[in-house]
Amino acid sequence: MLKLRNDTLIRALLRQPTPYTPVWLMRQAGRYLPEYRQTRARAGSFLKLCKSPDMACEVTLQPLERFPLDAAIVFSDILTIPDAMGLGLYFADGEGPKFERPLREESAIRALAAPDPDTTLRYVLDAVRQARVALDGRVPLIGFSGSPFTLACYMIEGQGSSDFATVKSMLYRRPDLLHHILSVNATAVTTYLNAQIESGAQVVMLFDTWGGMLSHAAYDEFSLAYSKRVMAGLTRERDGLRVPSIVFTKGGGNWLESIADIGCDAVGLDWTIDIGAARSRVGAKVALQGNLDPAVLLSSAAAIRHEAERVLTSFGNGSGHVFNLGHGISQYTPPENVAALIETVRSFSTRFH
């Protein structure tokens, strides 16, 4: 297997010494890049772009042609699994993802089954394979999935929501039904991530976008427990090399210690928590990823430098930090601001290593 020429991300995730703090950005391949918008127009729709391995591979590599990033993340969507389960994913213009057949009836919930990624999700695995070959050992390739709970939110609600009232109603009125969905999802996510690892992903990340809206007890029972089940089932080594895992719960600052205990190598942080305080809480148990407010990238180069330096200084000396945003990059971000951020991280972080 081709040796990685830049393994800084892998080493940081495993808390090994690095010459600088590695950086990649959530949604780094996306609408803020004109080249992405051109490819997306060529594809005809977001879903067609996701389902074309050639174009998904092309988009995966686009940010690396512009910026000296330390990782690529396969271009896909967190809702590929429920789409493969037959819920009918579609994207309404300006409204985000929706499902034609949300899970509302007990009969549909009981009939839910984990898809076979080698058939219904082959397009993602093919994109992973192609991107791994195209990267040619340049940087590691990250695979990902939505968490069991976050997938359930969309599957039950049928779309995004400000409060996920339908999901929460099921959680309190029929927890047995929600647990059934989450159990099937945990199996599906584990199988899917392992298939991405088998296809060439060198790091995997679990996006728990909506876990942070739960109560303390509900988060533990309905989100964290199923993320832990996924972690327990992951392939940990491929071709003799460790495959690190990252778990990110948006709004999860209250539960850092609990997340760090589920078996992941790194915990992703949103921007609402100080990374130095987070480091003191989890100690050397896991690496930390984050956590610049994405809105900083809508400001000036001077502000970007100041805020990036603040995050790096807060984490402090030593390894175990992967610089990232606290959530996905805004589509309105000027690409030159991303360049300023990456240059700042690369140059300023060396003093901490």
Q: Which residue reads 């409204």 in tokens?
A: 95
Take residue 214 and report the two structure tokens written for it: 């739960």
40 is catalytic: yes
Of 31, 238, 242, 310, the active-site residue reads 31
Catalytic annotation on 31?
A: yes
Q: Which of 7, 15, 20, 27 is catalytic?
A: 27
Specify the residue for token string 């991107």.
131
Residue recorded with tokens 């609600």: 157
> Omega of the bond prior to 185 within 30 degrees of 0, cis?
no
- Work out the angle at residue 246's Cα, subtended by the Cα atoms of residues 170 and 143, and round it to the nearest 5 degrees: 90
Marked catalytic residue, from 7, 70, 77, 270: 77
Active site residue 129: no
Point out the catalytic residue in the list 7, 15, 36, 40. 40
Q: 9: which 2 tokens?
A: 């991300």
Q: Verify whether residue 101 is a known catalytic residue.
A: no
Structure tokens at 336: 């030159």
Strand-strand pairing, 141-146 and 203-208: parallel
Which residues touch 347 (CB under 8 Å, ≥6 apart)? none
Question: Amino acid identity of 241?
Answer: L
Tokens (6 digits) for 108:
């549909």
The question of whether 27 is a catalytic residue gets the answer yes
Question: Which residue out of 36, 154, 219, 226 is catalytically annotated?
Answer: 154
Enzyme catalytic residues: 27, 31, 40, 77, 154
